[in-house]
């Protein structure tokens, strides 16, 4: 975590370097997306700093959707309160989750659909965050980590983070863990910075089950993809699968499953 080879300078320049690196990573992954998506949203995404006044209580990063009138791009907010919270090997996975092909693709594509406003904006957490975790794996599958072993270790560390989330969420809300107990467990198990962990735990404290929804959603999307592959064989098209998942706006997982199963049945009939 603190190896100087993977740390940015603790200065204004170092913080700007973090923003620039995220911008570069998003440009690199964006170039790969036409190979796996039929629809590339026209909205752009920019990397900006979390406002200083809200750094302490904010997550390590988050995404804000583009404006509905198209005058403002999507924004990937990076928390720069402590440069040690952003080791270089961790940045790819976060960029793919919050930006491309994660939240930026899912939310921007939904904004462009001819749907009632509620249908394009409803926050079904298991769907939206499940998609963002799926996006992390998709980036791995298209080769974004092929020449970057430290970055791939960062991806695996993020997988550990997801597993720990399941433990601390159920620990606090079912087993009655204290805030401090949850923070200690997460720091010791993941190696994350305590400031970053504290912000995460305080979020879970007031949003029971929200952290669990990420992995549940990802597993369902992967299950549906593998089911479609098995049913369609050579007819399976990854671009079309992604369109089915994204081109109906955010959905409850039970509805998403019906949508995918209907598409599979239609493809088999051709």
Domain spans in the chain, listed from the N-terminal domain onward: 4-212
Sign of the torsion formed by the C-alpha atoms of 36, 39, 42 and 48: negative
Residue 101 banded pLDDT, cuts 50, 70, 90: very high
66 has a pLDDT exceeding 70? yes
This prediction has a pTM of 0.92
Adjacent-strand bridge partners of 75: 46, 64
Residue-wise pLDDT tens digits, 109-125: 999 998 888 888 888 99
How far apart CA 13 and CA 18 sit, in angstroms, is 9
Report how far apart, in Å, the C-alpha atoms of 158 and of each of 11, 90, 219, 223 are: 26, 8, 15, 20
- Report the pLDDT value the prediction gives residue 258, as an integer from 0 to 100: 98
25 has a pLDDT exceeding 60? yes
- Report the pLDDT value the prediction gives residue 148, as an integer from 0 to 100: 95
Smallest CA-to-CA distance from 220 within 259, 247, 249 is with 259
Residue 59 banded pLDDT, cuts 50, 70, 90: confident
What percent of the chain is predicted at pLDDT more than 70? 99
Residue-wise pLDDT tens digits, 212-261: 999 999 999 999 999 999 999 999 999 999 999 999 999 999 999 999 99
Residue 58 banded pLDDT, cuts 50, 70, 90: confident
Task: Give me the helix-helix angle, 194-206 and 210-232, nearest 10°.
Answer: 90
């Amino acid at each position: 975590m603190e190896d100087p080879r993977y740390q940015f300078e603790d200065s204004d320049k170092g913080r700007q370097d973090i923003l620039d690196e995220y911008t570069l990573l998003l440009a690199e992954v964006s170039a790969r997306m036409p190979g796996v998506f039929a629809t590339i949203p026209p909205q752009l995404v920019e990397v900006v700093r979390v406002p200083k006044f809200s750094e302490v209580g904010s997550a390590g990063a988050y995404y804000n959707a583009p404006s509905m009138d198209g005058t403002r791009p999507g924004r990937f907010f990076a928390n720069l309160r402590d440069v040690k919270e952003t080791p270089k090997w961790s940045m790819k996975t976060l960029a793919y989750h919050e930006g491309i092909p994660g939240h930026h693709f899912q939310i921007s594509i939904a904004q462009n659909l001819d749907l009632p406003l509620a249908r394009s904006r409803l926050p079904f957490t298991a769907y939206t965050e499940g998609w963002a975790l799926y996006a992390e794996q998709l980036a791995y599958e298209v080769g974004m980590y092929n020449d970057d072993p430290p970055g791939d270790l960062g991806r695996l560390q993020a997988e550990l983070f997801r597993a720990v989330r399941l433990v601390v969420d159920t620990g606090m809300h079912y087993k009655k863990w204290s805030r401090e107990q949850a923070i200690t467990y997460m720091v010791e198990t993941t190696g994350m910075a305590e400031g970053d962990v504290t912000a995460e735990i305080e979020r879970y404290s007031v949003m029971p089950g929200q952290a669990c929804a990420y992995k549940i959603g990802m597993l369902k999307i992967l299950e549906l993809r593998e089911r479609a592959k098995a049913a369609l064989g050579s007819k399976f098209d990854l671009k079309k699968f992604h369109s089915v998942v994204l081109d109906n706006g955010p959905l409850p997982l039970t509805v998403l499953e019906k949508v995918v199963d209907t598409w599979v049945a239609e493809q088999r009939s051709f």
